[in-house]
Amino acid sequence: MAKIIYTKTDEAPALATRSFLPIVKAFTKSSDIEIETKDISLASRILANLSDYLTDDQKVEDALAVLGDLAKKPEANIIKLPNISASVPQLKDAISELQNLGYAIPDYPEEVKTEEDKAVLALYNKVKGSAVNPVLREGNSDRRAPKAIKNYARKNPHSMGTWNADSKTHVATMTEGDFAHNEKSVTVNTATSVNIEFTGSNGSNFLLKKGISLLDGEIIDATVMSKKALLTFLDNEITDATENNILLSLHMKATMMKVSDPIIFGHAVKTYFKELFEKHGDTFDEIGVDVNNGFGNLLSNLDEVSAEKKAEILADIDAILTKNADLAMVNSDKGITNLHVPSDVIIDASMPAMIRTSGQMWNGEGKLQDTKAIIPDSSYAGIYTATIDFCKKHGAFDPTTMGTVPNVGLMAQKAEEYGSHDKTFEIVADGKVQIIDANGTVLLEHTVEAGDIWRMCQTKDLPIQDWVKLAVTRARASKTPAVFWLDKNRAHDAEIIKKVNTYLPNHDTSGLDIRILSPIKATEFTLERIIKGEDTISVSGNVLRDYLTDLFPILEVGTSAKMLSIVPLMNGGGLFETGAGGSAPKHVQQFIKENHLRWDSLGEFLALAVSLEHLGNTTNNSKALVLAETLDDATDKFLDNDKSPSRKVGELDNRGSHFYLALYWAQGLANQNKNEALKAEFSSIAKSLSDNEENIISELNNIQGNSLNIGGYYNPTEELATESMRPSKTLNSILA
């Protein structure tokens, strides 16, 4: 029987799955389709990696490893929901929750003192940060807003904050000494293996990493972020924000860039609180403060000092917060700033949210204010500057008239920066870092200083070929101009451009408008078109894929949750991601507080339809094709009738939205004439659902309003979570 793998993940999407999956199972059961779930939640990944610490009945399957293998096989058909890419604070919370449940796993080692600490840290590092997506993404990315979603946004535009020409909001980025300015790149012509070697100014010499195999035609690049240049930059920008009385915010991707970005985050915290660290640095060292995990780490460690000392430190913190520029807030009621937790403000979602909100963020008084957005590395910061400048000149974008920007993203096989964390190092002493091949030839070399962050990235040739092909295919299928966002003046991009120029002629590009523009020029070109209602495909590398697939969806349709997000796997399978966004921690907080889940599963409806279509085509299953077609129609009707979850308690939420999808899907199956068996089966289901609409909706809405307990955050009690997501007895009995 053909199989669809459904991932069980975390937070809001995992709650939604508990309501939606029973519907999916009920609708596919009679069509020779098996739906199997695989648990890749953060909790399950911790248990799988630390299985030596567990009793036999506590051990779980390493589902991620199983799916990673499957993704390389032609039969793969995986529906992937968003999962937590854990920062250290999130990882520690999850560990402590599991410990309290009786799993004897070790604490996250704050400091590595023993061999065991080292081994434990290595296990946790496998779970940390973006550990799922790179394993499953054995293909490039095709993300777009389907026509129905665009039409819906045109008819029901989301709110857009107005923009003023005199807005003080701007992006601050480095002009020297950063990754962008120090990048070097080369394409290797024959397969080889390289070592990364450090040689100190004092002659000391050791390998940072050995035996990295490179394939024929693989592009490598290496670069370094100068600590000195970074600190000078941060210091100047903080002073500038203070003098100009503008809010200060930092936008990083500490989850995916899990080695480099926490270090940069830590430097920002230490620069902002410079006097604090000068005065109390020794104390902080003694109690093991590590602000690479955010300013919150410092605060949570303060219980380890005497009450008097703690009061003194807190008073010093207050004085600095008063004196320095105001920090953008994550939660002004609770006093949680942008510098508290590295996973609270993630650049792909945070910059578009700010641009959508008049270029403003929340200040300590809970009011919106213009902000300086610090994005230290200048490789991609320019796209936000260009967008902000465009808004200052033309005003906010208009969702009722603006065009759309689908993305074709190079991401297969851990392409580019997002695959670099195992080759990223904080340099311990002055010297040089070299990449040396099997023949002893130095391929790339940098002079470095202690504290610099050096990294190497890899981009394989076959993924690039596949990406170029996907770009041409999408341009042809949608009759839309396609722009490769590549900067010929950047070392890595220059190598990619050579390959694009080599591989484009392998395809029929006649009549297509395909160009290569630098990211800033591409932004300007695309925005000039977008306000005229014209569409433009962005063809980009992995980081811009991530940034652009939140930026444009959030501006165009209000959220990236409504994106169709397909990963055609290079070996023939399909990975269908549900939307382009994350797992929405705020939604879970609201759910626990008032039993209302505002998570919108639209991305999941879209993913399921393409997954069924893929299954139908690859296994000759005509019923699956009918299910796919009717599901798409049901999604259109769902949008037309505006059945997305509301944000307010007592109104239709995620669970009610699933009911309507099921109703429309059943009606579609009952009304089609391509498959008689499905028609017969679903005619009575459609009738039962429709007859009981009022009853079901009141069952789903009336239970809202009170707080609830699902037994855990990262590892909720299955029965409690399932019960709370399936509170309508009437709906449950129809589905059964």
Q: Which residues contact 9 (CB under 8 A, 6 or more apart)?
A: 17, 40, 41, 81, 82, 83, 84, 583
Contact segment (CB under 6 A) with ligand NDP among 26-34, 78-86, 116-124, 445-453 equals 78-86
- 447 within 8 A of 432, measured Cβ to Cβ: yes
Size of the site for ligand NDP (CB under 6 A): 21
Q: Which residues contact 688 (CB under 8 A, 6 or more apart)?
A: 734
Does 407 bind ligand NDP (CB under 6 A)? Our answer is: no
Does 346 bind ligand NDP (CB under 6 A)? Our answer is: yes
- Least distance (Å) from ligand AKG to the CB of residue 541? 13
User: What does 561 bind: Mg ion, ligand NDP, ligand AKG, none (CB cut-off 5 to 8 Å by kind)?
Assistant: ligand NDP
Does 183 bind Mg ion (CB under 5 A)? Our answer is: no
- Which helix or strand (DSSP H or E) is residue 563 part of? none
> Given the complex with ligand NDP, which of 41 and 675 has the nearer CB atom?
41
User: What does 261 bind: Mg ion, ligand NDP, ligand AKG, none (CB cut-off 5 to 8 Å by kind)?
Assistant: none
Q: Which residues contact 79 (CB under 8 A, 6 or more apart)?
A: 4, 5, 6, 7, 576, 578, 604, 607, 608, 611
User: What does 600 bind: ligand AKG, ligand NDP, Mg ion, none (CB cut-off 5 to 8 Å by kind)?
Assistant: ligand NDP
- Least distance (Å) from Mg ion to the CB of residue 613? 25
- Least distance (Å) from ligand NDP to the CB of residue 357? 10
- Least distance (Å) from ligand NDP to the CB of residue 153? 14
Helix boundaries (H) for 398-478? 461-478
Does 84 bind ligand NDP (CB under 6 A)? Our answer is: yes
- What is the C-alpha separation between 595 and 707, in angstroms, rounded? 6
> Given the complex with ligand NDP, which of 408 and 517 has the nearer CB atom?
408
- Least distance (Å) from Mg ion to the CB of residue 531? 24
Does 731 bind ligand NDP (CB under 6 A)? Our answer is: no
Please name which of 600, 510, 509, 619 lies closest in space to residue 561, comparing C-alpha atoms: 600
Does 301 bind ligand NDP (CB under 6 A)? Our answer is: no
Instruction: Map residues 417-446 to x or -, x wherever contact with ligand NDP holds by CB under 6 A.
Output: ------------------------------
- What is the C-alpha separation between 496 and 160, in angstroms, rounded? 36
Does 546 bind Mg ion (CB under 5 A)? Our answer is: yes
Does 348 bind Mg ion (CB under 5 A)? Our answer is: yes
Contact segment (CB under 6 A) with ligand NDP among 61-69, 279-287, 535-543, 577-585 equals 577-585
Q: Which of 417, 600, 629, 699 binds ligand NDP (CB under 6 A)?
A: 600
Residues that bind ligand AKG (CB under 6 A): 85, 130, 133, 255-256, 348, 546, 549, 580
DSSP code of 507? S
> Given the complex with ligand NDP, which of 133 and 169 has the nearer CB atom?
133
- Which helix or strand (DSSP H or E) is residue 710 part of? none
- Least distance (Å) from ligand NDP to the CB of residue 604? 8
> Given the complex with ligand NDP, which of 182 and 360 has the nearer CB atom?
360
Does 17 bind ligand NDP (CB under 6 A)? Our answer is: no
Q: Which of 7, 133, 182, 611 binds ligand NDP (CB under 6 A)?
A: 133
Backbone angles phi, psi at 28, to 5 degrees: -105, -10
Does 358 bind ligand NDP (CB under 6 A)? Our answer is: no
> Given the complex with Mg ion, which of 353 and 735 has the nearer CB atom?
353
- Which residue sits closest to ligand NDP, CB atoms considered? 582
- What is the C-alpha separation between 266 and 483, in angstroms, rounded? 36
> Given the complex with ligand AKG, which of 526 and 565 has the nearer CB atom?
565
- Which residue sits closest to ligand AKG, CB atoms considered? 85
CA max distance for the chain: 82
Contact segment (CB under 5 A) with Mg ion among 103-111, 498-506, 517-525, 538-546 equals 538-546
C-alpha distances (whole Å) from 112 to each of 95, 107, 121, 131, 183 are: 17, 12, 8, 22, 32
- Least distance (Å) from Mg ion to the CB of residue 407? 11
Tell me if residue 285 falls in helix, strand or coil.
helix
Size of the site for Mg ion (CB under 5 A): 2
**DSSP, residue by residue, 651-675:** S--HHHHHHHHHHHHHHHHHH--S-
Residue 86 burial by Cβ neighbours in a 10 Å radius (0-12, 13-18, 19+) = buried
- What is the C-alpha separation between 45 and 480, in angstroms, rounded? 41
CA angle 37, 42, 44 (to 5 degrees): 55
Q: Which of 294, 582, 656, 668 binds ligand NDP (CB under 6 A)?
A: 582
- Least distance (Å) from ligand NDP to the CB of residue 175? 28
Q: Which residues contact 369 (CB under 8 A, 6 or more apart)?
A: 246, 247, 326, 360, 361, 362, 363
Residue recorded with tokens 């929901």: 81
Q: Which residues contact 510 (CB under 8 A, 6 or more apart)?
A: none
User: What does 343 bind: ligand NDP, ligand AKG, Mg ion, none (CB cut-off 5 to 8 Å by kind)?
Assistant: ligand NDP
Residues in the chain: 736
- What is the C-alpha separation between 565 and 579, in angstroms, rounded? 6
| HEC sequence for 10-75 | CHHHHHHHHHHHHHHHHHHHHHCEEEEEEECCHHHHHHHHCHHHCCHHHCCCCHHHHHHHHCCCCC
- What is the C-alpha separation between 620 and 267, in angstroms, rounded? 56
User: What does 377 bind: ligand NDP, ligand AKG, Mg ion, none (CB cut-off 5 to 8 Å by kind)?
Assistant: none
User: What does 574 bind: Mg ion, ligand AKG, ligand NDP, none (CB cut-off 5 to 8 Å by kind)?
Assistant: none
User: What does 28 bind: ligand AKG, Mg ion, ligand NDP, none (CB cut-off 5 to 8 Å by kind)?
Assistant: none
- Least distance (Å) from Mg ion to the CB of residue 580? 6
Q: Which of 599, 638, 660, 664 binds ligand NDP (CB under 6 A)?
A: 599
CA angle 472, 475, 477 (to 5 degrees): 105
For residue 458, list its beta bridge partners.
220
- 563 within 8 A of 580, measured Cβ to Cβ: yes
- Least distance (Å) from ligand AKG to the CB of residue 13? 13
- What is the C-alpha separation between 245 and 243, in angstroms, rounded? 6
- Least distance (Å) from ligand AKG to the CB of residue 365? 31
Q: Which of 343, 407, 540, 667 binds ligand NDP (CB under 6 A)?
A: 343
- Least distance (Å) from Mg ion to the CB of residue 159? 22
User: What does 68 bind: ligand AKG, Mg ion, ligand NDP, none (CB cut-off 5 to 8 Å by kind)?
Assistant: none
Contact segment (CB under 5 A) with Mg ion among 78-86, 111-119, 342-350, 457-465 equals 342-350
**DSSP, residue by residue, 597-641:** -----HHHHHHHHHHHHHHHHHTT-HHHHHHHHHHHHHHHHHHHT
User: What does 586 bind: Mg ion, ligand AKG, ligand NDP, none (CB cut-off 5 to 8 Å by kind)?
Assistant: ligand NDP
- What is the C-alpha separation between 159 and 357, in angstroms, rounded? 9
Handedness of CA 346, 483, 221, 188 (dihedral sign): positive
Does 85 bind ligand NDP (CB under 6 A)? Our answer is: yes
Footprint of Mg ion on 65-124 (CB under 5 A)? none
The pair of structure tokens assigned to 188 is 């290797």
> Given the complex with ligand NDP, which of 130 and 271 has the nearer CB atom?
130
> Given the complex with ligand AKG, which of 5 and 551 has the nearer CB atom?
551
Identity of residue 451: G
Does 573 bind ligand NDP (CB under 6 A)? Our answer is: no
- Least distance (Å) from ligand AKG to the CB of residue 418? 8
Residues that bind Mg ion (CB under 5 A): 348, 546
What residue ranges bind ligand NDP (CB under 6 A)? Answer: 82-85, 133, 255, 343, 346, 349, 559, 561, 579, 581-586, 598-600
